[in-house]
Amino acid sequence: MNSMKRIVLPVLMVVVFAAWLGALPADRTIVNPEGVPLFYAFVPQREESVIGGPEALYDDPEQLIAGIQEYTGEVRTLAPGGMWRIPSDSGVIVGYFGDGNAPVALQLVAMPVPEGTGPVEIIPFGDGAYRLERWEVPEFSEPIVLDGMDGEWESRDPIVRFGAMESAARIEDSVRGRLLSQDDALFWRDYGTGIRSVKSVLGAGWWYVAIDATEPIEAGTFYHFRLFPDRDTASSAGQLVVPVDDHSGPVVFRAPAGTITLVGQYVRRGTFLELSIARDTVESMMPLAFENDWSVDIASSHGDEMTREHFTWGTIFLNDIAGR
C-alpha cells in the first residue's frame, strides 16, 4: 500500500459518521451486545398469555423455548453488536443467543420491555446456558444468518465479479465534484474500496448481500447502492448506504431530499462484509422493485469531510436477484 495514501483524520471521521448516523430517526431499537447472533421475537403484552406470561417464562426454560417456537414466524436475527427497530408498546422479548440450527448450549433471553422509545440492550436469561438438541431449536426461516462468516455464501455464485486488475468504471472526488484518474486517487483499492465480488439472495423478509473486498475493510469505507427505476433516468431514486464504522452497524436509505431511514444491518470481518435489508422497508419506498426494471449502481467510497473518493464498479438489476 502506498504510504502517501495513509491519511488519518480521526476527528473528521467522527464528524462524518455523526452526520450520517446522527440523522437516523429516533426509533426504538433493540441492541445485541454479544459477539454471536441473537434470534428473538417481540411478544406484545396483549399476547403474553399465549406464551404463559412473563412469570412462566422466567421460571421455566422449557416454557421459554415453547414461547419462541410459538412465534417462529416472527423470529428475527440480530447481528453481533447490531441493532434493529422494535415497537414502542410494552411486551416481552424472547429468544436466544446462538449460531443457527445446531445442537448447542444457548443463552436464553426473556426480557420484559415497558412502553417507551429508548434503546433496549438485551441481557441473557439466567446464570448459564440451556442445551437444546437440533430438533428442539426453533427454526429460522431466512437463508442467511448475519454473523460475519462466509460459510453460507460459499455455494452461491456472485451476481457480479471484478478482476484483480480491473479499474472502477468511474472515480470521483465527491467533495470537490470532479472526476479522478486511477493514479490520482488517494484511496484506490485501499481500506476495502476495491471490490472483488458481490453476492446476493432474497429471503422471505430480507434482502441479503455479501461483499468480498480486495483489502481488509476498515472504518471510513462506505458501500453505496444507487437505485434507478429505469436506465433512462439520469438521477437516482436514492441510495442504500453501508457506513462502515465498527465491526457491525446500520444500513441506511438516503432519499434524494437527504432524509435517512434505518433499513438494515451489516457485519464485517477482514475482507468480507455481509448485510441484510428489510424487504418491506425497501418495497414501501420502491414498490415492486424486485419485479420491475429497477437497477443498482454499486460503488465504494472512502475519506472524510475534506476528501471522499467514490469508486463506481458496475450495475445489477433487482429482478435478476429475485430470480435466484
Of 37-51, 123-137, 233-247, the poorest mean pLDDT is in: 123-137
| pLDDT computed for residue 59 by the predictor | 61
Mean pLDDT throughout 99-123?
73
| pLDDT computed for residue 12 by the predictor | 34
What is the share, in percent, of the chain residues with pLDDT greater than 90?
A: 24
190 close to 302: Cβ distance less than 8 angstroms: yes
Tell me how far apart the alpha carbons of residues 146 and 38 are, in angstroms, rounded to a whole number. Answer: 10
For residue 184, pLDDT beyond 80: yes
Tell me how far apart the alpha carbons of residues 35 and 97 are, in angstroms, rounded to a whole number. Answer: 9
Average pLDDT of every residue of the chain: 79
Indicate whether 79 and 177 sit together in one domain.
no
Last residue of a domain, one of 81, 112, 136: 136
Last residue of a domain, one of 136, 159, 180: 136
pLDDT band, residue 136 (cuts 50/70/90): low
For residue 275, the domain's CATH number is 2.60.40
203: its cell numbers: 429471503
| pLDDT computed for residue 251 by the predictor | 94
| pLDDT computed for residue 168 by the predictor | 81
Indicate whether 118 and 68 sit together in one domain.
yes
Indicate whether 89 and 217 sit together in one domain.
no
Of 68-77, 212-221, 307-316, the poorest mean pLDDT is in: 68-77
For residue 90, pLDDT beyond 70: yes
138 close to 68: Cβ distance less than 8 angstroms: yes
Residue 105 belongs to a domain: yes
pTM of the shown model: 0.82
pLDDT band, residue 103 (cuts 50/70/90): very low
Question: How far is residue 189 CA from its own chain's centroid?
Answer: 22
Who's near 201: CB < 8 A, 6+ residues apart?
A: 143, 144, 156, 208, 321, 324
Indicate whether 97 and 170 sit together in one domain.
no
Last residue of a domain, one of 136, 169, 188: 136
* Domain housing 208: 146-322
| pLDDT computed for residue 72 by the predictor | 57
Indicate whether 109 and 185 sit together in one domain.
no
Gyration radius from the chain CA atoms: 21
What is the per-residue pLDDT across 12-69, written as a single tens digit (0 to 9) for each? 333 344 444 444 545 688 888 888 888 888 888 776 665 555 555 556 667 677 767 6
Indicate whether 256 and 292 sit together in one domain.
yes
Indicate whether 155 and 297 sit together in one domain.
yes
Indicate whether 170 and 126 sit together in one domain.
no
| pLDDT computed for residue 280 by the predictor | 85
How many structural domains does the chain have? 2
Indicate whether 81 and 158 sit together in one domain.
no
| pLDDT computed for residue 199 by the predictor | 94
Indicate whether 198 and 292 sit together in one domain.
yes
Mean pLDDT throughout 114-136?
71
151: its cell numbers: 460459510
> Residue type for 268, please?
R
Indicate whether 78 and 150 sit together in one domain.
no
What is the per-residue pLDDT across 263-284, written as a single tens digit (0 to 9) for each? 999 999 999 999 999 988 877 8
Number of other residues whose CB lies within 10 A of the CB of residue 324: 11
Indicate whether 156 and 281 sit together in one domain.
yes
Q: Which of 20-29, 68-77, 95-104, 207-216 reaches the highest mean pLDDT? A: 207-216
CA count, 13 A, side-chain hemisphere, 183: 0
139 close to 73: Cβ distance less than 8 angstroms: no
pLDDT band, residue 91 (cuts 50/70/90): confident
